[in-house]
Structure 1
């Protein structure tokens, strides 16, 4: 009986450790996906700028009507092709919650926009991104909410 309890306890510890390792790996993958997108955005890489988003994307931003993948890609490419402004994004992840192939990420985006005269404006936007891990093992955003800090 004692041996059975000991084996059961060991199995529970191993399962818990495996879950924690998987969770850490998934969080790293999500952080890397966000970092990659930020680099693409900041370097005006319009070819890859939509890779973070699922073709099934739906999002709400600052009270505007619901938008989709096509809308965000068009807006991002238009912004990045505007030579009169320079954009720079950074992010701060507040929390990542994982559930199988879904993740909820609470984060703050900071956007600095500089015009040709050198004047800049910085805004901070709170957001919630919902990621789904695709069959190809890439995490993509399927839903997001963006809003200004109070």
Structure 2
């Protein structure tokens, strides 16, 4: 389900997502959607967005740090792999696609030190495996519509 799943000892830190599902158009052109992430707790929040299908999706930016109350817009871009054409079989395969948004509280200034932030993520992942720590995981589910069908979510304008 799309509900937030904090680890056992999660603090009041929270990252709100503008949506927990996005719908992309299946076509030969890339389809873009936007998701807004907002830090709703009183702490600085590190976040990263990953997908279970990296051959089909790009995420820009993939990670960042937000101060209390700050927001960031993340572009989710779907494109069929080269040589693939839209078909019923492709649509069936796409049903399992999703994004995972991880977030955790960090000290102010951690975002400016890439090595320190990477270490914080490693420690948080290890703690989460033990059911400890403060990492929050939320999912964004994908649906797909045939080219020309009405899509839902927040379309990202072409540059």
TM-score (norm 1): 0.29
Q: Which has the higher contact order (CA 8 A, sep 6+)?
A: 2
Larger Rg: 1
**TM-score, normalised on structure 2?**
0.27
